[in-house]
Amino acid sequence: MAGSKLLVYLLRRDLRVSDNPIFHHLATTKDHGFTHVLPIYVFPHHQIEIGGLLKDGEQSPYPQALSQVAGFWRCGPHRAKFVAESVWDVKKTLESLGSTLVIRAGKTADVLDNIIKSFGEQGQQVSDVWMTAEKSFEELREEEEVDAVCKKNGTGFKLWADEKYFVDDRDTGLEKPSDLPDVFTSYRKNQEPLRERPRPVLPLPEKGVLPGVPESIPPQPHPFVEATRLDDLEQRLLSPLTTMLPEPPAYPEGAESAHPLKGGETNAHDRLRYLITSGGMTSYKETRNGLVGVEFSTKLSAYLALGCISARQVHKELKDLEDGTNPDYASANGYGEGENEGTKGVRFELLWRDYMRLCTRKFGSRLFRLSGFRQDESYNKKWKTPRKDAAHQDQSPAPEEVNRVLQRFLEGTTGQGLIDASQRELFHTGYTSNRARQNVASFLAKHMSIDWRYGAEWYEMHLVDYDVSSNWSNWQYVAGVGNDPRGDARIFNPVKQAFDYDKEGVYVKTWVPEVRDLESLENIFQPCTAKQADLERIGLAEHKMVTDPIKRIDFTLDRKPKGPRKSFPRKRGQGRGGRGGGSNGQGSDGSNSGGSGGNAKVQQNGRPGGNNGNGHQQGAFRGRGQRFQYNTHTPNGGYTHPPNHNGYGGHMYPQQQPQYPDVWYGNGFNDNSNMRGRGSNGYRGRGGWRGNAAYNQPRGYDYGG
């Protein structure tokens, strides 16, 4: 086609048409020189399983999309559906503007090479290829491969800055990735005031202003087929995905998803407007730690992860509310009253997402290392693993037993109500709250001492809002190997957390129906504490959550104060009290948002003692007048209270008590038993632990998963 100049735009995690720098440039720049533009989205073979898009009887040229350590699917059914909806929404929006989106599957570089060659055979040359830059390890590798294809074919290549973040990378003041502070608080202070930081939003292109699409578009390369309808695309993406659980939990009667939202830019903006008009943004600080229902939290994370909406678009709507400049929000709570605690909290979380991504840029493949971001060569913590080839020589229990226990953790039958409810909710809906995620991560990494990457990969598979930086950085943070200044000292007590955030037991009873007929919260949160008669009455006496709980934490709650309370001055701690850990902290800088009142005693391993935390010092539980006793069985046989455990006292018992088995580094999955109950056959078939690379090898592009 003489005189034509074709641009190929490869979309990845920029699945929006508004506030899109490339579409904006093409729509507003008269001398860009392109006669045609072809937007393309490629379902990447290494991150989402595309076997369902194969022609009948054909074999894929690519390995299955499995995770490196555990062999889980890289993308499970919940996110696969959400991604398909988001891609299709871009396609429909572009078609309404006179353009389109071509959908392909495979390796991006292979698809592009086929496109360039096919157009060449038609007499039309692809002049340039554009895409927005991503800073995670696999995406950087993908960009290098695309660049190589372009050079081989004499095609221009340009990477654009992706502008979906809260503070534009060009405005952070960081000259190079290593300039990023290792502690979030330092970075936040450098960026404040946050309300003034984002750049203006780019408008949606008008109809007919984008360059047209080529008259003839090359077909999907062999051996894959092209889905022509959204329902067909969804079915093909979901069809190869197995559950990865030999005994998956049944969906509880009456349970409803807290994230029933559909993907796409259109739905993202609908959700954002609803949050403002309903008052959800103004009340965000009070509701963000909820567990049940659609109303708690913003539920914008899945849209932000795929670039269906940009952080600065969220910021703009917040400013319209605060400044009273959008009449559509006139009836909303907080209209025209300036920044409030809720809108301030949303900006805080948007900056946290930015920070996690900047950590990915700074630390690179260390995002996936067992030793985490900042650990040097002297790091020698011995994590437990179900893999024989990766277990250290003196690991106890053996990998087979770790596999059995890990299986229980994944299926949600640990005997810890909050953990089990969260795991089942995640499995069935693709979502679980931020508060629950922190507890689950802490339970696996701190209480069980199991390689935290199994949890991170399980979340990668199931989360509808999975984001590589947010997921892996937050798992590192809670596991104590990331950028939490307190490291191993931050431990969640899931029983106390359940009392604080599931005050009526509604959440646990919703997702763990076996305990619905129990009356006491102590029993609901730990069914092994119920009386035998009650367990027999509801048919739970022989359930493994009762006979063989993975870990038991003795906990009693007495709501009557036993004496006067001495007040202490508030002392703000380092970091984020409500992000990676802490018992009650919800605010920034370790500030207290505490739990409800009452006296409590927590005994782990059956040992009394501990510090009576009352007040707000960092060395005390930051609840409102709660009294705690918490002991941990440590590797050296003692019972210690590290002073920074957010209230875990300071007493130490040097002698080892023989009645407490020294397993799992003393943190025992069941401190009062010898791991009774039948063993598990473990994962079979596609559920096997199939890491195809060295156990502690940095995650790479072509590790076969």
| Residue 528 shares a structural domain with residue 653 | yes
* pLDDT tens-digit map of 468-486: 999 999 999 999 999 888 8
Average pLDDT over residues 379-386: 90
* CA proximity to 296, closest of 335, 259, 340: 259
Q: Give residue 2's pLDDT.
A: 58
* 642 pLDDT more than 70: no
pLDDT at 552 over 60: yes
Is the same domain home to 232 and 313? Answer: no
| Tokens at 104, concatenated | 């392909």
Do 280 and 230 share a structural domain? no
What's the rounded Cα separation, in Å, for the pair 378 and 204?
52
Tell me the CA distances in angstroms from 222 to 230, 350, 672, one per residue in order: 21, 41, 59
Q: Is residue 334 part of a domain?
A: yes
| Residues 679-689 pLDDT 10s | 333 333 333 34
Section 493-497 average pLDDT:
95
Domain count, the chain: 3
Q: Do both 226 and 277 map to the same domain?
A: no
- Among 672, 524, 499, 527, smallest CA distance to 598 is for 499
pLDDT digits (tens, 9 = 90+) for 350-363: 999 999 999 999 99
Please report, for the domain that includes residue 21, its CATH number. 3.40.50.620
- Residue 300 domain-assigned? yes
CA torsion 366-369-374-375 (nearest 10°) is -140
Nearest to 171 by CA among 312, 320, 342: 312
Indicate whether 34 belongs to any domain: yes
Q: Please check if 465 is assigned to a binding site.
A: yes
User: Has 653 been labeled as part of a binding site?
Assistant: no
Give the model confidence (pLDDT) of 310-333 as tens digits: 999 999 999 999 999 999 999 999
Region 103-119: mean pLDDT is 98
Q: Can you give the CATH number for the domain in which 277 is found?
A: 1.25.40.80
Q: Identify whether 183 is part of a domain.
A: no
User: Has residue 547 got a pLDDT over 50?
Assistant: yes
In this model, does residue 561 exceed pLDDT 80?
no
- Same domain (yes/no): 135, 226: yes
Section 570-579 average pLDDT: 38
**Residues 232 and 328 occupy one common structural domain:** no
Task: Please give the pLDDT value at position 234.
Answer: 98
**How would residue 554 be classed by pLDDT, with cut points 50, 70 and 90?**
confident
List phi, psi (to 5°) of 182. -75, -10
What whole-number percentage of the chain has pLDDT above 90? 74
Instruction: Give yes or no for residue 60 having a pLDDT over 90.
Output: yes
Q: 3-state SS string over 558-622?
A: ECCCCCCCCCCCCCCCCCECCCCCCCCCCCECCCCCCCCCCEEEEEECCCCCCCCCCCCCCCCCC
- Residues 6+ away with beta carbon under 8 Å from 619: 611, 613, 643, 644, 647, 650
Residues 228 and 298 in one domain: no
- Same domain, residue pair 279 and 398: no
Nearest one of 354, 303, 311 to 198, comparing CA atoms:
311
pLDDT at 231 over 50: yes
Residue 299 known to bind ligand: yes
Asked whether residue 320 falls in the same domain as residue 436, the answer is no
Closest CA to 402 of 438, 365, 451: 451
Domain match, 314 and 433 both: no
pLDDT, averaged across the chain: 83
**CATH classification at residue 473:** 1.10.579.10
Indicate if the pLDDT at residue 701 is higher than 70. Answer: no
Residue 284 annotated as binding?
A: yes
- Residue 160: which H helix or E strand, with range? strand 156-160
Written as one letter, the residue type at 603 is: Q
594 or 79: which carries more pLDDT confidence? 79
User: 376 pLDDT band (50/70/90 cuts)?
Assistant: low
Q: Higher confidence at residue 177 or residue 628? A: 177
Question: 528: which 2 tokens?
Answer: 């092994």
pLDDT for res 196: 95
- Indicate the pLDDT class of residue 671, thresholds 50, 70 and 90: very low
Stretch 494-504: mean pLDDT: 96
The model scores a pTM over 0.75: yes
300 is in an annotated binding site: yes
Does 702 reside within a domain? no
Any domain includes 253 = no
DSSP code of 555?
E
pLDDT at position 576 over 50: no
CB 315 within 8 A of CB 194: no
| 501 and 632 both lie in a single domain | yes
Q: How does DSSP classify residue 174?
A: -
Helix or strand run (H / E) with residue 591: none
HEC letters along 5-26: CEEEEEECCCCCCCCCHHHHHH
Q: To the nearest whole percent, how much of the chain has pLDDT over 70?
A: 78
Structural domain that includes position 542: 369-376+393-681
Q: Quick one: pLDDT at residue 375?
A: 67
Residue 547 lies in a domain: yes
Residue 449, pLDDT above cutoff 70: yes
pLDDT digit string, tens, across residues 120-157:
999 999 999 999 999 999 999 999 999 999 999 999 99
Q: Identify which has the larger pLDDT, 645 or 35.
A: 35
Question: Residue 91: which residues within 8 A CB-CB, separation 6 or more?
Answer: 100, 101, 103
535 and 584 together in one domain: yes
Distance CA 528, CA 532 (A): 9
Whose CA is closest to 405, among 635, 683, 633, 636?
Answer: 683
Least confident piece of the model among 295-299, 419-423, 559-563: 559-563
Residue 488: band (very low, low, confident or very high) from pLDDT cuts 50, 70, 90: confident
pLDDT category at 591 given cuts 50, 70, 90 is very low
Q: Has residue 606 been placed in a domain?
A: yes
Q: What is the mean pLDDT of residues 640-658?
A: 32
- What is residue 46's predicted lDDT score, i.e. its pLDDT? 98
